[in-house]
Amino acid sequence: MSLLTTPLDALHRDLGAKMVPFAGYEMPVQYPTGIIKEHLHTRSAAGLFDVSHMGQVVLQGAGAAAMLEGLVPVDVEDLDVGRQRYALFTNELGGVMDDLIITRRGEDHFFLVVNAACKAQDIEHLRSHLAGQSLQVLEQQALLALQGPQARDVMAELCPAAAQLVFMQGCPASIGGVDVYITCSGYTGEDGFEISVPNDDAAALARRILEYEQVAPIGLGARDSLRLEAGLCLYGHELNADIDPVQAGLLWSISQARREDGARPGGFPGAAVIFDRIRNRPALRRVGLLVEGKRPVREGQTVRDSQGNTVGEICSAGYGASVGGPIAMAYVQREVAEPGTELSVDVRGKLLAVNVTKMPFIPQRYYRG
């Protein structure tokens, strides 16, 4: 099957990007400066990411909020216009089908961003539950992410109105006469923005943003190491159809109104299972691991306790350029999940010492006003 490309494909190649297959697309994994420098540049200045492979969906019509609440455990009914929330599509066993961002653009008007690898499944899932609403897949829209402590300075010149946004807020805007939708959100733990822009205007906007001296192009490699340091889940690693939100450490994503004692309890797939997990706590828990030394650990490797017993498995790992060493996330048994617990990881028969640590690995710096 041939790979798809984003509207920025020619720009990536002009910039010398190394292109790799990802979720059915050819995407830039890094540029000539390399992943570590891209990572550190985003932490110190601003990075521009092409995330056009993500799915963008508009849901409109009477009852749209109630329909969404039938699929996710988040409070959609009380979401204000111009605000967004992190959400999970759950299944009947309490597992996670995908994670997504829901933005309310109007009374019965919602904008959803879903993961690239899951978007066909997610769109079908939404369509199968429509009850008089319309669903539009924004295939003619690209998505750019501007992230980092200097992203707001750039946005103040690019689009002053959007520079006033706070974390998890969005607004329609215009940049150079092009209509866009901008949210204050991202996947790096830094302040920043995501810009939904028509495909035909995406490359010109990206080039304009890259003219700012603070901004550098950033690939998928640094995007992954940045989100790992920020303690953020990646679907297919920390989340899947067999992992529930409680063991994933995402209890905060189940709104109080939707919990067992809330104003609108349950009503989403797997609610009974998830409520049981909240009451009784699952056996496994997602934790952060600091690796002693410089040798990295890898996804799928076994985590052992001080007696050598298997107590878990690595779900994501990499070099934390801001931390200054290898880090990982793992699912481990609850009794060994407290910060400070000394464990080890089996790396081809050799045990590497690791320590359970609080997440995020570095402080998140979202702008909340």
> What digits encode the pLDDT tens for the residues 243-273?
999 999 999 999 999 999 999 999 999 999 9
Please report the domains of the chain, with CATH numbers, ordered by start residue.
Answer: 1-282 (3.30.1360.120), 283-369 (2.40.30.110)
From 206, 207, 188, select the one nearest 197 (Cα to Cα): 206
Relative to beta strand 46-50, strand 215-217 is parallel
Separation of alpha carbons 309 and 165, rounded Å:
49
Burial category of 121 from C-beta neighbours within 10 Å (exposed 0-12, middle 13-18, buried 19 and up): middle
What is the residue type of 362? I
Residue 1: pLDDT band (50, 70, 90) is: confident
Render pLDDT for 320-354 as a digit per residue (tens, 0 to 9). 999 999 999 999 999 999 999 999 999 999 999 99
The answer, yes or no, to whether residue 143 has pLDDT greater than 80, is yes
Enter the DSSP assignment of 252.
Answer: G
Q: What is the pLDDT of residue 306?
A: 95
**H or E element in which residue 220 lies:** helix 220-229
Residue 8: pLDDT band (50, 70, 90) is: very high
Separation of alpha carbons 188 and 103, rounded Å:
19
Tell whether pTM > 0.95.
yes
- Alpha-carbon distances of 156 from 37, 175, 204, 307, 320, rounded to whole Å: 25, 11, 18, 56, 30
Render pLDDT for 41-99 as a digit per residue (tens, 0 to 9). 999 999 999 999 999 999 999 999 999 999 999 999 999 999 999 999 999 999 999 99
Q: Count each helix (H run) and each strand (E run) in the chain, helices first.
A: 8, 19
Q: What is the pLDDT of residue 293?
A: 95
Residue 262: other Cβ atoms inside 10 A: 14
* Angle at the Cα of 115 from the Cα atoms of 111 and 118, rounded to 5 degrees: 110
